[in-house]
Structure 1
Amino acid sequence: MDMLISLSPIILMFVIFYFLLIRPQQKRQKQVKQMQSDLQKGDSVITIGGFHGVVHAIDESTVVIQAGDGTKLTYDRSAIREVKK
């Protein structure tokens, strides 16, 4: 009983740490993976590096993005940060 009381602050810290840091990060990673797997030709995207463009072609691991001037660049799917609405 005395040992449980002495360990309760540490257990409480781990529970708080999980709900404030670990769980939200896991949810965000899941959302990003879902967004990257749902990419379609014609989507307006922003890469991790800040490049804005339109998806021109997609395969399993890469995405070809076309810039406004017609330039086409190939990126890994994981480099896509967000899809603009």
Structure 2
Amino acid sequence: MSQQSSTLILVLLMVVAFYFLILRPQKKRQQAMQKVMRELEPGDRVLLGSGLFGTLVSIGDKQAVMEISPGVELTVLKQAIVRRATEADEDSVTEDEVGEELEAEATATYDTGDVQPVVRADADAPTGTYGADGDRSNLR
């Protein structure tokens, strides 16, 4: 066998390996994704590539309208949909629990403590006058 024919065989083997290791699996993933897109229906819970969850309201050729919160609809490209959302994807927090957490945060009191103001060394000296009893309230 000559040097030229062995080089040709090596190149052919590399092309075949490239096809089976890269192109074929990629084509299978693409076909599976197209199948999922064809099977989507309004009412399906989906996950976008950005991590956003929503319920499909309508599906067109290029775009889908999904509801991300009651009364809030979002139009996205169909390519942004990664897959149907499963129960394992989402937390099992109810709307009541979320409302309770927000209410607790809103009513929480924070201890401000006795914090002294920071005075820069290059700050201008206070202006104004002291009151008769040494009151500094009118200083700026």
User: Shared fold by TM > 0.5?
Assistant: yes
SS at match of 1:15: helix
- Runs of 4+ deviating beyond 6 Å: none
RMSD of Structure 2 on Structure 1 (CA)? 1.6
Equivalence for 1:36: 37
Secondary structure of the corresponding residue to residue 10 of structure 1: helix
Map of 1:1-40 to 2, 5 A cutoff? 2=2, 3-40=4-41
Equivalent residue, structure 1, for 2:50: 49
Aligned residues: 85
* TM-score normalized with structure 2 length: 0.55
Task: Indicate the structure (1 or 2) with the bigger Cα radius of gyration.
Answer: 2
Give the corresponding residue for 2:82.
81
Q: Which AA in structure 2 matches 1:15?
A: V
Q: What is the aligned-residue identity percentage?
A: 33
Calculate the TM-score normalised by the size of structure 1.
0.85
CA distance in 1, matches of 2:77, 2:69: 20
Contact 2:53 2:85 in 1 (8 A): no
In structure 1, stretches of 5+ residues that fail to align are: none
**Higher-strand-fraction structure:** 1
Q: Distance in 2 between matches of 1:80 and 1:37?
A: 12
In structure 2, distance between residues paired with 1:43 and 1:26: 25
1:72 matched to 2:85? The reply is: no
For 2:7 and 2:58, the matched residues in 1 are separated by: 59
- Which has the larger share of helix? 1
